Structure 1
Amino acid sequence: MDIIPAIIVFIICSIVVVSIIDFIRGGGRKKVMEMRETRFSVEIFYTLLVIYLIVIIGFGLIYFTLSINNILLVENGELRHVSVAGSIIHSLYFSGVTLLTIGYGDITPIGIGRFIALVQALLGYVLPTAFVLRLVQTNHENRDSQ
């Protein structure tokens, strides 16, 4: 692998990891999240949506960057060469399907892409859990302070 795609993949991975860690720690801002009496919070929904979009786009860019050097994703069991726009669309689609653990099987990773997809699928399982645990912890801290 050339040095420039490796640097791009490292930068994207760093941004995704820092974003997730910042989210889990509660963000750089000491904004207190208060649980309202309603069962649905728009703020919580948007926060989770933004986190998922960051991860989908980040991993999609990793798949796209790696596909520049060689074919990383196989469509319907065949190696296909697609345009740059097609490669971006395939990468983002595969990233979303993998993160949301749907896994249709129409696009399959090969080589290092299998390990990257495994890590992304694990994040798809862990993110909601971390989100719920963070909300419970914040709610518990708010009750203790009152």
Structure 2
Amino acid sequence: MKDKPTCQYQSPDGHRCQEIDMGSGLCFWHDAKFDKSGLELSQKLERYAKRGGLLQGLELKRANLEGLNLVKHNDHTGYDLSYSNFYRANLRGAHLFNNKIENASLMKADLHDANLHCCKLSNSNLLGIKLNNTRIDNIDLSGKLQQENEASLAAKEKRTEDAADFFLQSEETYRTLRKGAEQQGLFEMAGNYTYKELRMRHYQYPTHSKKRFMSAAVDLLCGYGEKPANVIRFSLSMIVFCALMYFLFGISYQNEVLSINFSQSFSDNISALLNSFYFSVVTFTTLGYGDITPIGFSRFIATVEAFTGSFSLALFVVVFVKRMTR
């Protein structure tokens, strides 16, 4: 008696399915043409997983997987559901702890009350997912969404409209993730998704537009209100730059001009440089002791630095308080 033909599915990782061919060359789990809409497959899929079936590349579009429990107890690796299609699948209450769902599609899947704790979702399509009361702490996106990668490729190939559309989808996905994180009280994670959401919006603006320039400036200054360290870096850079300008153009101390002067000794120049740094800090923080005063072009630099300093200090307080009170 001839052996029954097996499924011809082979994952991009090289894994072959050993299930019986249904006549289409593929098994029930990997046949995209087999309509699984509404089929209750939770228990069947659990049994398939426990007996070692290939979980990569599953075609479960619109399937009913409510209450699915795919957790490998006493195993730190979890199940590998990469390359699978869960488009519009019902995954309410699904327990998918620590599973690998990379390069997959969860587009518009219903994950109400599901557990995605520690799931690896790199390069997966998460557009339109429903995350009502979904546990998403410690999920791993490894940097980018599927749409982000598509957008970067489209931008590189000068397909402007396609790139803008993919960036819009990425923005929507990060917004969904942000709301899901806020609902779970994961405010640090929510802040990271807020930053990425606004970053995706930035890329949708025309390259040389005013909006894109302003967006880049806000990102540089404070990371869209999510990165206090950016304010500190900008402030330190401003202080150093202005100090060097004072050292170049000169400042006045007790009727003596302090500036770079190659005819003076090295120690005198170092003293002038240190005084320039001191004056820069005093000006940036708007303390204004008055012991050192700007002269010539240094007056303009001091005016700009004082204005920038007062703005930066206020900005830092706002951003810092925002982060600390979450």
Q: Please tell me the root mean square deviation across aligned C-alpha atoms, in Å.
A: 3.4
Q: How does 1:7-26 map to 2 (within 5 A)?
A: 24-26=217-219
Kept in 2, the 8 Å contact 1:73–1:110? The answer is yes
Change (3 A) 1:75 1:130: same
- Determine if the alignment matches structure 1 residue 79 to structure 2 residue 272: no
Distance 2:297 2:285 in 1: 20
Superposed displacement of residue 104, structure 1: 0.5
CA drift of 1:96 comes to 0.5
| 1:128 paired residue number | 313
Report the equivalent of 2:279.
94
Residue 65 in structure 1 maps to residue 242 in structure 2: no
1:119 equivalent in alignment to 2:312: no
User: Secondary structure at 2:302's aligned position in 1?
Assistant: helix
Return the offset for 1:73.
1.1
- Aligned residue identity for 2:219: G
Aligned partners of 2:292, 2:238: CA distance in 1, in Å? 19
**Given that residues 286 and 309 in structure 2 are in contact (C-alpha distance below 8 angstroms), is that contact kept between their aligned partners in structure 1?**
yes
Q: 1:32 to 1:93 in 2, by over 3 A?
A: closer
Q: Which runs of 5+ in 2 are unaligned?
A: 1-213, 259-263
Change (3 A) 1:96 1:31: closer
CA contact (8 A) 1:24 1:130 kept: no
Identity of aligned residues (%): 30
Q: Deviations over 1:45-100 (max 9, x none)?
A: x433322211110100111122xxxxx21113x21567110111011110000000
Structure ranking higher on relative contact order (CA contacts 8 Å, 6+ apart): 1
**Quick check: which has more Rg, 1 or 2?**
2
Q: Does 1:47 align with 2:230?
A: yes
Kept after mapping to 1: 8 A contact 2:231/2:315:
no
Q: What is the CA-CA distance between 1:24 and the residue it aligns to?
A: 3.6
Structure 1 unpaired stretches of 5+: 1-20, 34-42, 67-71, 140-146
Letter in 2 for 1:47: N
TM-score (structure 1 length as normaliser): 0.54
Q: 1:50 to 1:75 in 2, by over 3 A?
A: same
CA distance in 2, matches of 1:117, 1:131: 20
- Pick the structure with more helix per residue: 1
Contact 1:24 1:131 in 2 (8 A): no
Contact 1:100 1:124 in 2 (8 A): yes
Paired residue secondary structure (1:48): helix
Give TM-score scaled by structure 2 length.
Answer: 0.26
Equivalent position of 2:198 in the other structure? none
Q: Deviations over 1:11-64 (max 9, x none)?
A: xxxxxxxxxx7874314xx8993xxxxxxxxx62x4333222111101001111
Amino acid corresponding to residue 114 of structure 1 in structure 2: R
- 1:57 maps to a residue whose letter is V
2:295 maps to which residue?
110
The alignment partner of 1:26 has SS state of helix
Q: What is the aligned residue count? A: 100
